[in-house]
Amino acid sequence: MSPRRASVIDKETTLYRPLVPWPPLFRNRKTVFMSEHLQSAPRPASSPHVDRGRKSILLLQGLMGPLFRRLGQELIRAGHDVHKINFNGGDRLFWRLPGGIDYRGSLEEWPAWLEGVIRQHGVTDVTLFGDCRDHHMPAIRLCRDMGVLVHVFEEGYIRPDWVTLELGGVNGHSSLPRDPVWYRETAAALPPVPPHAQVPSSFRRRAIEGLLYNAADVFTRWHYPHWTNHRPWHPLIEGMGWARKLRRRKDDQRRSDMLLERLRDRDATYFIFPLQLDSDAQIRLHSPFAGIADALKLVIGSFAAHAPAHTRLVVKEHPLDNGVRDWSQETTDIAAQAGVADRVDYLPAGDIVPVTRRALGMVTINSTSGTLALAEGVPVVALGHAVYDIADVTFQNGLDAFWTSPARPDPETFAALRRVLVDRCLIPGGFFSNEALDKVVRHAVARLEGRALLPE
């Protein structure tokens, strides 16, 4: 008998239906091994259990990969009730813990269904990754009305080796002010930032997790008939993009090494423009651009019209770009149309830190790369809504003027901004290695329990 759709909580419908077996693809030995290998990393060491108040935590959609599974494990070990909503087969593949609830209804049915889940389980806290996904936006509004706390994960405002975990909303939805005086005064009352160590990150791991997630999504669409991805591509298209990017990784690295060598040999003076993800809500909802192509046209056009003739522009590919669109070719075409093809370079891979350190300035939409440049004392102009786009930190006189008169950030104000961000909404770690996840999970549990950051 085919499963029935559910719009309200009903023990005979989706909420309480035992999870159906995976299709044959996900029962074969190789796939099971790969998925379990990615999720069976050693769990973070727990401190002795202390009763800090039992919470009922509901996890919505996370990052592609084992982040929410690892977080769920540690929250359960700390004595909290944990449930997880799975919206598609990729979510379910990486959860594989008790407390998983398949949502198979429509987006219209979602708020009423979610309200029932929250009431049924006495949910006190909701945790999710990204506050602009289709199912997350109404969930946040509902939680606000019901007095349920919402904790939002996102890439870290400060790079590298930090992750954002902010109450209520992130980026353009953050409640943090844009007043430099407030940051200086608030930071003055805080102790120094705790010692902070780097964590490893694996592109290969990220790509494999993306491929597994998308494959699980595609082959279980029959079980999630109303699921629509917040990303603009079909999962098969995105999966092929990741596979293509993995294949050309060595060639991209060679191209990058050659470009960096040329820049060093010629002692070139250049600006850097790090690209962001075309599907990111940072672009779609928190910037004036419909996509990265529009941003490329504006930035390269402004560079051609206003930058000194001896300067170059280095366009840096986002390390997590899925390879579906050829941004190298698009950059070349736009530069040729603007008459500056000989002054615009494309950097497909490599560490952005040394490139940024030597730059005259960084142009960004609202990327966390902006804070990396600011930490190096490099001038930054932000074209979208960014938490760090405040007076005395970023350039405030527009893109056209930036090319000829970039102003360095005030070190005191940026240090104050950084200190407040760490105190309010950052935790150490990353997403793409076991060590990085260990840190994120350990500190996330502390934050969810209302505790301060733990010693490294």
pLDDT for 211 equals 83
pLDDT for 323 equals 64
Residues 213, 218, 224, CA angle at the centre, nearest 5°? 100
Q: What are phi and psi of 364, to 5 degrees?
A: -140, 160
pLDDT for 319 equals 78
Percentage of the chain lying above the pLDDT 70 cut: 84
Highest mean pLDDT among 100-109, 236-245, 286-295, 424-433 belongs to 100-109
> DSSP for 381-416?
EESS--TT--TTTS--S-HHHHTT---PPPHHHHHH
* 203-218 vs 235-247: helix crossing angle, rounded to 10: 150
Give per-residue burial for 55-68: e unless 16+ CB within 10 Å, then b.
bbbbbbbbbbbbbb
Confidence check: pLDDT of 196 > 70: yes
Distance CA 324, CA 280 (A): 14
pLDDT for 24 equals 40
Give me Rg for the CA atoms of the chain: 23
Work out the average pLDDT over 313-317. 94
Side-chain-side CA neighbours of 351 within 13 Å: the count stands at 7
Work out the average pLDDT over 134-159. 94
Highest mean pLDDT among 204-213, 215-224, 248-257 belongs to 215-224
Helix (H, G, I), strand (E, B) or coil at 85: strand
Residue type, 49: H
Distance CA 209, CA 59 (A): 19
Indicate the range of 263-272, 352-361, 404-413 predicted with least confidence.
Answer: 263-272
pLDDT for 230 equals 64
Q: What are phi and psi of 213, to 5 degrees?
A: -60, -50
Indicate the range of 126-130, 179-183, 211-215, 427-431 predicted with least confidence.
Answer: 211-215
Work out the average pLDDT over 74-103. 97
Distance CA 282, CA 304 (A): 26
**Which residues lie below 8 Å from residue 25, measured CB to CB, with a gap of 6+?**
31, 215, 219
pLDDT for 259 equals 80
Confidence of residue 362 (pLDDT cuts 50, 70, 90): very high
pLDDT for 75 equals 98
Residues 257, 155, 410, CA angle at the centre, nearest 5°? 80
What is the H or E stretch that residue 183 is in?
helix 180-188
Pick 7 or 379 by higher pLDDT: 379
pLDDT for 34 equals 32
Percentage of the chain lying above the pLDDT 90 cut: 61
Is the bond preceding residue 160 a cis peptide, omega within 30 degrees?
A: yes
pLDDT for 7 equals 32
The tokens of 379 are what? 């001038």
Work out the average pLDDT over 143-171. 92
Over residues 259-296, the pLDDT tens digits come to 878 777 667 799 999 998 877 777 777 788 988 999 99
pLDDT for 110 equals 98
Pick 423 or 23 by higher pLDDT: 423
Indicate the range of 42-46, 197-201, 292-296, 308-312 predicted with least confidence.
Answer: 42-46
> DSSP for 250-315?
HHHHHHHHHHHHHHHHTT-EEEEEE---TT-HHHHTTSS-SSHHHHHHHHHHHHHHHS-TTEEEEE
pLDDT for 226 equals 94
pLDDT for 398 equals 96
Confidence check: pLDDT of 80 > 90: yes
Distance CA 340, CA 303 (A): 9
Work out the average pLDDT over 57-61. 98
Over residues 125-144, the pLDDT tens digits come to 999 999 989 999 999 999 99
Mean pLDDT of the chain: 84
The tokens of 216 are what? 């699980």
Measuring CA to CA, which residue among 144, 160, 157, 164 is closest to residue 63?
Answer: 164
The tokens of 331 are what? 């950059």
Q: How many CB atoms lie within 10 A of CB 316?
A: 23
Distance CA 3, CA 101 (A): 14
pTM: 0.79
Confidence of residue 454 (pLDDT cuts 50, 70, 90): low
Over residues 332-347, the pLDDT tens digits come to 999 999 999 999 999 9
Distance CA 72, CA 225 (A): 26
Residue type, 279: S
